[in-house]
Amino acid sequence: MRERAMVPEPEFESYYGKQIIKTPTWKTPDVPIYLFVGGMAGASALLAEGAARSGRPGLEGVARGAAAGGAVVGTVALIHDLGRPERFLNMLRVLKVTSPLSVGSFILAPFAGLSVAAFASHVSGRVPRIGRLAGLGAAAFGPPLTTYTAALLCNTAVPAWHEGHQEMPFLFAGSGATAAGGLAMVLTPAAENGPARRMAIAGAGLELAAAQRLKHRLGMVAEPYEIGRPGLLMRTARAMTAASAVVSLVAGRNRAVSVVAGTSYVAASLITRFGVFEAGLTSARDPKYTVIPQRERLERRRAEREHEDARPAR
């Protein structure tokens, strides 16, 4: 049964109710996981660099590990998602600024190399200078790695994604920060996890604000984020994020609380990615999300044109 909206839906015509755009063929969970680990790894690289600079070796180790691990898992997920995995290297055949995936590949590839190198150096203690440089490099690639995945989704015709392109990078940045902070909160001794906690709290704030704005700005196109399974996922994630933020703000220094809140952050971030991903699929499957906004746009343009036309006549 289809969910009934509270207000009558605007009338629109369609071809036997068939969807107009194609549903993304990206696999679940490969791609949501990639979105998650990419974000987590990118922010972790940042955290690691900060930890290194501020002399928090424990935090640095965890964050370096998270960055490297995330990069590796992300790369695997990305390759696994390909229809022809043996051709993954074709990703580096061209560099296209118009393709977030191309740009992303050129971010992910060095990031993966640098973060793994930095982590290896950190763990083994070998070539520390190179390790430091690699860490710096990873930190430089970290934020773009975290936010480019928003471009990946938004630079499509999927209404719920594309229309949210102003908010999605911030949502992903926040979500990445909460994941990285949360993970570090779980794995780092309380003495060193202050920055992680702060990062998570700030990230949570950013994410929640972005989500709120997205919902309001997009109108009916944001509906998929509210209804059905993606709606449930998004609501759950939001609640968990908010709760984690409150708890970590209030009692973050408590180790046990920190572990619980951190886990909740991480889980919320993961759920957010699933929610965003699935909301996109929902909006692709129903022609109304494609037709109605476009119809409205046409009507608006027609009205404007008539207005324009009318003016000189006066």
CB of 314 to another protein, least distance (A): 26
Residues 54-73 that bind another protein (CB under 8 A): 54
Residue 156 DSSP symbol:
S
- Cα–Cα nearest to 160, from 209, 81, 219: 219
Q: How far is the CB of 153 from another protein (least distance, A)?
A: 8
Q: Of these, 111, 172, 274, 277, which contacts another protein (CB under 8 A)?
A: 172
User: Applying CB under 8 A, which part among 109-117, 120-128, 130-138, 198-206 lies near another protein?
Assistant: 198-206
Among 28, 298, 304, 306, binds another protein (CB under 8 A): 298
Q: Is 224:283 a contact under the CB 8 Å cutoff? A: yes
- Running DSSP on this structure, what letter comes out for residue 129? H
CB 166, CB 217: distance < 8 Å? yes
Binding positions for another protein, 103-132, rule CB under 8 A: 104-105
Residue 152 Cβ vs another protein, minimum distance, rounded to whole Å? 8
User: Considering the complex, what minimum distance in angstroms separates the CB of residue 99 from another protein?
Assistant: 5
The burial of 4, by beta-carbon neighbours within 10 Å (0-12 exposed, 13-18 middle, 19 or more buried), is given as exposed
The owner of tokens 């990873």 is: 138
- Per-residue contact track with another protein, 80 to 99, x per CB under 8 A? -xxxxxxxxxxxxxxxxxxx
Longest dimension (CA), the chain: 80
Chosen residue from 65, 181, 182, 231 binding another protein by CB under 8 A: 181
CB of 310 to another protein, least distance (A): 21
Contact region for another protein (CB under 8 A) — 67-75, 117-125, 145-153, 270-278?
145-153
Residue 241, φ and ψ in degrees, nearest 5: -60, -50
Can you tell me which residue has the tokens 């992300």?
A: 74
Q: In the range 278-297, which residues lie near another protein by CB under 8 A?
A: 280, 284-288, 290-291, 294-295, 297
Task: Give whichever of 18 and 314 is closer to another protein, judged by the CB atom.
Answer: 18
Count of residues interacting with another protein (CB under 8 A): 101
Under the binding rule (CB under 8 A), the answer on residue 160 touching another protein is no
C-beta of 124 vs 282, nearer to another protein: 282
Cis peptide, bond prior to residue 224, ω within 30 of zero: no
User: Binding to another protein (CB under 8 A): which residues in 209-268?
Assistant: none
List the alpha helices (DSSP H) in the chain: 30-53, 57-81, 100-124, 128-154, 159-162, 168-187, 194-218, 228-251, 255-285, 287-313
**Shortest reach from residue 192's CB to another protein, in Å:** 9
**Contacts of another protein in 17-36 (CB under 8 A):** 17-26
> How deeply is 305 buried, as exposed, middle or buried, from its count of CB atoms within 10 A (0-12, 13-18, 19+)?
exposed
> CA nearest 35: which of 162, 154, 150?
150
Instruction: Answer yes or no whether residue 208 interacts with another protein by CB under 8 A.
Output: no
Q: Which is nearer to another protein, 3 or 125 (CB)?
A: 3
